[in-house]
């Protein structure tokens, strides 16, 4: 059998639509669950060759017959895509996760969009966008980058989830990967070897020279560089301090030098910055901060209208009471009501937190992610069982907030919505029952042993 397989062109739309249908609103969610790279999954979804075992595993998770959709690759053919495929194009509308359908369903949250756009028109711009998972950060940036591209700006979108662990754990590797991806996105040849050489003080200087003396000198227009999921580097504290410090240094240097004034930075992250950074070396206390709020009742109503659903004010209130104004959860409800045609509004809300409900895959995914971090499970249980807001250790609070499970107000956390309370309360109840049964079993075995 050939080592590599790819999805037949005719089946590409089918596998892409299967992502969301199976509870994976983003490619990243499935990649994390399968412990594969985002670039591998992206190759699969776009009909490029991947390893046979990865192909079979992804197909199974998406409910696809792998033999039906597969095209076998010749072992001798060079089917591996260049590393540039891990980097998004600089053309407008290039964010692969933001489809035309997503754009049509995008609900503006004024004045956020205009604030982002106006900030990026200014030289030395540094825009900081923060919101938990699934709050719409990628869609927001897709629209903003499209708009500045219409002004003749070059745009580069780079997701740090595409960097592997080794690259994130070493500052030299990370900066070379960073420089390569930006080169490819701008359509420029890779000239890293000309700038990474012995004699330079450090790799930050090499990277700075690469941008100042090469990349930005090849472009006659401003370049908007959007770095998404920057919190991926936070666990690697020394690397994070060096990388983020370099971005801050670029921002400050741009105030004095014309070349770096062409670069407009966007830093997108899901959680609070929980690593210690020198106040004068952090990019998180300068520039324009943007936080994405939940939908208002009016915005929920507007989204329903985009789906051509006739929702009453009472129904909107019921949905908001269950899921708050969480954009993804609201959208999933409307998507189901629009395209499935079975089940009443009341039935959808009644079953929402159960294994028969429309959110079952999303809820299972959250639960599976929590299982990898037992301390988070314990922390979430405290929040679920609390009657009001409580205090948690800062890092735990930040991580739960980044997953979208809790609201974070100062040092206090509260559960995000009733949907999560009902679902996770059942999971913790099941754990307690299992513990009781195991205890009884041990006691019985102990008695038998003594007899």
- Tell whether 264 and 323 lie within a shared domain: no
Whole-number pLDDT of residue 344: 83
- Tell whether 249 and 387 lie within a shared domain: no
Considering the chain, what is the average pLDDT of its residues?
Answer: 87
Residue 87 scores a pLDDT above 70 = no
> How many domains does the chain divide into?
4
Residue 286 scores a pLDDT above 60 = yes
Whole-number pLDDT of residue 68: 82
- What residues contact 432, with CB distance under 8 A and at least 6 apart? none
288-291 and 263-269 beta bridge pairing:
unpaired
Residue 264 scores a pLDDT above 70 = yes
Q: What is the CATH number of the domain that holds 394?
A: 1.10.10
CA–CA distance, 128 with 137 (Å, rounded to integer): 11
Q: Which residue has the higher pLDDT, 96 or 370?
A: 370
- Tell whether 224 and 169 lie within a shared domain: yes
CA–CA distance, 226 with 224 (Å, rounded to integer): 6
Cβ atoms of 27 and 37 closer than 8 Å: no
- Tell whether 95 and 241 lie within a shared domain: yes
Whole-number pLDDT of residue 438: 64
- Tell whether 134 and 196 lie within a shared domain: yes
Whole-number pLDDT of residue 14: 86
Cα torsion for 133, 139, 141, 142, to the nearest 10°?
150
Percent of the chain with pLDDT over 70: 87
- Tell whether 206 and 58 lie within a shared domain: no
**Structure tokens that stand for 386 in this block:** 């609390």
Residue 84 scores a pLDDT above 80 = no
- Tell whether 284 and 405 lie within a shared domain: no
Residue 86 scores a pLDDT above 70 = no
Residue 444 lies in a domain: no
Summarize pLDDT for 312-331 with one digit per residue, the tens.
Answer: 999 999 999 999 999 999 99
- Tell whether 30 and 67 lie within a shared domain: yes
Kindly give the interhelix angle for 313-323 and 297-306, rounded to the nearest 10 degrees: 110
Percent of the chain with pLDDT over 90: 59
Q: What is the CATH number of the domain that holds 54?
A: 1.10.260.40
Summarize pLDDT for 144-202 with one digit per residue, the tens.
Answer: 999 999 999 999 999 998 888 999 999 999 999 999 999 999 999 999 999 887 667 79
350, 375, 390: which is the final residue of a domain?
350
Cβ atoms of 42 and 80 closer than 8 Å: no
If you search the block for the tokens 């429309």, which residue do you land on? 358
Residue 157 lies in a domain: yes
Residue 101 scores a pLDDT above 90 = no
Under the banding of pLDDT at 50, 70 and 90, the label for residue 92 is very low
- Tell whether 130 and 183 lie within a shared domain: yes
Domain enclosing residue 380, as ranges = 362-433
Whole-number pLDDT of residue 446: 62
Residue 128 scores a pLDDT above 50 = yes
Residue 356 lies in a domain: no
CA–CA distance, 285 with 297 (Å, rounded to integer): 32
What is the CB neighbour count within 10 angstroms for residue 175? 25
Residue 53 scores a pLDDT above 80 = no
**Structure tokens that stand for 254 in this block:** 């741009």
Summarize pLDDT for 389-447 with one digit per residue, the tens.
Answer: 999 999 999 999 999 999 999 889 999 999 999 999 999 998 877 766 666 566 566 65
Residue 93 scores a pLDDT above 50 = no
Whole-number pLDDT of residue 436: 65
- Tell whether 148 and 283 lie within a shared domain: yes
Question: pTM for the whole thing?
Answer: 0.79
Q: Which residue has the higher pLDDT, 112 or 24?
A: 112
- Tell whether 111 and 143 lie within a shared domain: yes
- Tell whether 116 and 156 lie within a shared domain: yes
């Amino acid at each position: 059998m050939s080592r590599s397989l790819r999805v037949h062109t005719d089946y590409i739309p089918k596998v892409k639509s299967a992502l969301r249908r199976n509870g994976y609103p983003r490619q990243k969610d499935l990649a994390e669950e399968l412990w594969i790279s985002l670039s591998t999954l992206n190759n699969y979804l776009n009909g490029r060759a991947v390893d046979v075992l990865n192909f079979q595993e992804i197909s199974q998770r998406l409910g696809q017959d792998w033999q039906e959709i597969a095209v076998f690759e010749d072992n001798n053919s060079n089917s591996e895509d260049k590393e540039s495929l891990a980097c998004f194009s600089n053309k407008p509308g290039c964010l692969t996760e933001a489809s035309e359908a997503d754009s049509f369903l995008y609900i503006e949250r004024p004045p956020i969009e205009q604030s982002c756009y106006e900030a990026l028109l200014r030289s030395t711009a540094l825009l900081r966008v923060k919101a938990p998972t699934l709050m719409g950060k990628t869609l927001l940036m897709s629209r903003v980058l499209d708009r500045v591209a219409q002004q003749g700006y070059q745009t580069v979108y780079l997701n740090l989830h595409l960097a592997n662990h080794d690259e994130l754990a070493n500052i030299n590797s990370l900066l070379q990967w960073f420089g390569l991806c930006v080169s490819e996105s701008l359509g420029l040849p890779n000239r890293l070897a000309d700038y990474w050489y012995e004699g330079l003080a450090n790799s930050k200087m090499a990277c700075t020279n690469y941008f100042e003396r090469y990349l930005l000198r090849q472009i006659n227009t401003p370049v908007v560089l959007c770095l998404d999921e920057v919190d991926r580097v936070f666990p690697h504290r020394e690397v994070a301090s060096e990388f983020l410090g370099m971005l801050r240094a670029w921002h400050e240097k741009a105030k004095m030098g014309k070349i770096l004034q062409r670069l407009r930075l966007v830093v997108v992250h899901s959680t609070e910055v929980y690593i210690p950074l020198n106040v004068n070396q952090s990019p998180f206390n300068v520039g324009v901060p943007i936080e994405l709020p939940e939908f208002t009742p009016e915005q929920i109503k507007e989204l329903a209208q985009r789906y051509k659903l006739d929702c009453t004010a009472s129904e909107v209130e019921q949905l908001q009471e269950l899921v708050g104004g969480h954009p993804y959860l609201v959208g999933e409800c409307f998507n189901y009501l629009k395209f499935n045609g079975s089940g009443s509004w009341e039935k959808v809300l009644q079953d929402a937190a159960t294994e028969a409900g429309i959110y079952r895959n999303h809820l299972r995914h959250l639960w599976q992610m929590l299982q990898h971090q037992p301390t988070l499970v314990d922390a979430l249980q405290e929040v679920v069982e609390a009657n009001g807001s409580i205090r948690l250790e800062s890092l735990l609070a930040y991580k739960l907030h980044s997953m979208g499970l809790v609201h974070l107000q100062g040092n206090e956390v509260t559960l995000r919505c009733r949907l999560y309370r009902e679902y996770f309360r059942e999971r913790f109840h099941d754990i307690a029952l299992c513990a009781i049964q195991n205890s009884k079993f041990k006691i019985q075995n102990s008695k038998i042993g003594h007899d």
